[in-house]
Homo-oligomer: A and B are copies of this chain.
Amino acid sequence: MTYKCIGLMSGTSLDGIDAALVNVSADGNTIHFLHGITRPFSDSLRKKLMGLAVNETVNKEELARMDALMGHLLSDVVEQLLKESGTETKDILLVASHGQTIGHYPDKENQYGHSIAFTLQIGDGDVMAARTGIPVVSDFRRRDMAVGGEGAPLIPLLDSLLFQNTEQNRCCLNIGGIANITVLPACGSTPMAFDTGPGNCLSDLAAARLIDHGLKFDPGGENAFCGKIHDEILDRAMADAYFTQLPPKSTSREYFDEKFLNFLLGLEKNVPFGDMVATVSCLTPRSIADALHRFVPVDNFPKEMIVSGGGVHNRFFMEKLKLLLPEMNVVSSGKYGIDPDFKEAMGFALMGYRTMKGLPSSIPEVTGARLPQILGKISLTTSAFHFFQRDKGDD
């Protein structure tokens, strides 16, 4: 018995919404990709979302408006996915939506006697349930933070179910705005997972700023290939405290931002622009390789690296990873039939299903939480009750 579910992801790189239609097995442990679409944000929308994401002070009405609006835009993408894949609404068990991150504050504070950390994703699940007529699970990160976790990363569960293998130590690398790694020991022990540092975020900024051809990113890494890497700049970038901080740890594009780039640019005055794109781009594979060597015990050291996320299309990243990790087989997740552009959306579909089933999806060893949790909030429609009442836990 399997169930058709839809997962929606829009990352902090603000390029658009990824939607994946998947089949999930009744026990919530197996997932198969069926179809995926990506809808890019318009420039005006990207600008608005960027404003909310980077500003400390926001117009309250605008924030509430964008929460509802994102619910509609996500619903539009669900409708398009159903149409393109020839699937009917009644055949979909649920939509699971990550939402757009507007703020993430994992550092615990004491407030009125309570230790709290918090996060803010928009894209109202109620709007989506009303629009699509499908039950919606949304707001996945808060429940983990409510029990002391970082609320991230959440994808290691999917990585473990898809790729953990008793024959071979493996790791999964996702290169979005930020890059994160999941180490999957062959011995079957709990995954280790953390953010390694910048993914596309710095090379995107460098490409947009330095190349000055209206680029939002360096396509395929081709500009990086043309430049010369300045090792003294790269070495000083690698001296940043984040890279030596012990996991569990997470970071954000607000850390590896314009200011960080300015710091790098300030190190040497006369670096040609092309060289800077190359040097900044090199920081991504370099910090990934460094983190693996620094933090992963020898017994668990991966033989294979399975790469997903937008960064997989950056050939410069991939080539450098292969050079810096010669002991490892660096491959796209496509090798295992997992489209690298939709892995995260698939992950939320899986977690949404597990929530409807009453199963936890967070891994306390990974997020730092006290206990695993059933993630997200459900906006119900009547079809959810057919599932609840049929599902007696005996798969």
Residues of A within 8 A of B (CB): 45, 52, 55-61, 63-65, 67-69, 71-73, 102-103, 105, 109, 111-112, 114, 116-120, 124-127, 129-131, 138-139, 142-143, 145-147, 355, 358, 373-374, 377-382, 384-385, 388-389, 391-393
Contacts and interface: CB of A to CB of B under 8 A. Distances in A.
Contacts of A112: 45, 69, 72-73
Contacts of A147: 130
Copy count, this protein chain: 2
B380 A355 contact: yes
Contacts of A389: 388-389, 391-393
Contacts of A127: 116, 142, 146
A282 B82 CA distance: 58
Contacts of A384: 358
Contacts of A381: 374
Nearest to A381: B374
Contacts of A61: 56, 103, 105
A49 B113 CA distance: 17
A105 B65 contact: yes
A119 to B, nearest CB: 7
Contacts of A393: 385, 389
A42 to B, nearest CB: 8
16 contacts: A45-B112, A56-B60, A56-B61, A60-B103, A63-B63, A65-B111, A65-B118, A67-B120, A68-B142, A68-B146, A72-B111, A72-B112, A72-B116, A118-B124, A129-B146, A385-B388
A146 to B, nearest CB: 4
Contacts of A391: 389
Contacts of A59: 56-57
A382 B146 CA distance: 17
A43 B129 CA distance: 38
Given A60-B63, A116-B69, A124 B111 contact: no
A373 to B, nearest CB: 7
Contacts of A380: 355, 358, 374, 378
Contacts of A142: 68, 124, 126-127
B146 A64 contact: no
A58 B147 CA distance: 27
Contacts of A117: 68
A385 B138 CA distance: 18
A63 B196 CA distance: 29
Contacts of A111: 65, 69, 72
Given A355-B380, A389-B389, 6 more contacts: A58-B60, A61-B103, A72-B114, A126-B146, A358-B385, A389-B391
Give the residue among A56, A105, A127, A145 with the most B Cβ atoms within 10 A: A127
A102 B377 CA distance: 20
A274 B146 CA distance: 49
Give the residue among A52, A139, A391 with the most B Cβ atoms within 10 A: A139
